């Protein structure tokens, strides 16, 4: 795990990496996907992968990831902003957030990782 404790010194790179991955990466990927769908006349669907941390901040058993819940809350707000923007773009592109799908993908990844490591 990366060290994204909010009060730790010398972890700026880890903090920036988490924000870039969990927020900025989503912004850039969604923008490019939207423009690709629009250019090709596709009424597609944008899926936002979020977790329950995007809706409620749990007590953290591992305080090394203190920045994770705030980035997921930002993703929840970002999802709503995309929904509103898509409505005003005269498009049928939809946005959906899925914690359940995220959980399934994580379980599949861990299962495959375990298989590879054994």
Catalytic positions, written as ranges: 68
DSSP string, 76-115: HHHHHHHHHHHHHTT---EEEEEHHHHHHHHHHHHHHHHH
d(CA 33, CA 94): 12
Phi-psi region of 47 (alpha: psi -120 to 50; beta: other; left: phi over 0): beta
Q: Is 55 helix (H, G, I), strand (E, B) or coil?
A: coil
């Amino acid at each position: 795990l990366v060290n994204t404790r909010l009060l730790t010194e010398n972890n700026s790179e880890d903090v920036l990496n988490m924000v870039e991955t969990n927020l900025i990466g989503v912004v850039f990927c969604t923008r490019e996907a939207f423009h690709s769908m629009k250019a090709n006349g596709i009424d597609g669907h944008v899926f936002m992968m979020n977790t329950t941390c995007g809706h409620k901040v749990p007590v953290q058993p591992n305080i090394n990831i203190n920045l994770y819940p705030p980035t997921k809350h930002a993703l929840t707000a970002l999802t709503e902003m995309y929904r509103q923007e898509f409505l005003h773009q005269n498009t049928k592109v939809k946005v959906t957030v899925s914690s359940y799908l995220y959980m399934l993908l994580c379980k599949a990844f861990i299962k495959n990782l375990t298989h590879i490591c054994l």
